[in-house]
Amino acid sequence: MSTTPDPLLTPEQAADRLGMSPDTLNVWRTTGRYNLPYVKIGRRVKYRASDVEAFIARRTRNNHVEGEPA
């Protein structure tokens, strides 16, 4: 069974993808403000690329009001 590996991103790479600073991700991680899973490897923190993309997808909003033309 072969699976494609899910790349692990550094906090800097994940923050860049999200358009914010690594310090903001650190605050989120320590306060539990947002549900963005992370991986601890020793003292290092990594983010799965798929978790970052899923976070973006969950936060995506469509402001279309039902009944109005698109």
Is 65 within the bounds of a domain? no
Neighbour-count burial of 49, counting CB atoms closer than 10 A to its CB (0-12 exposed, 13-18 middle, 19+ buried): middle
Is 66 within the bounds of a domain? no
Is 35 within the bounds of a domain? yes
CA atoms within 13 A on the CB side of 52: 21
| Domain count along the chain | 1
Is 43 within the bounds of a domain? yes
| Domain assignment of residue 19, given as a range | 8-59
What pLDDT does residue 17 have? 97
Q: What is the pLDDT of residues 11-59, one digit of tens each?
A: 999 999 999 999 999 999 999 999 999 999 999 999 999 999 999 999 9
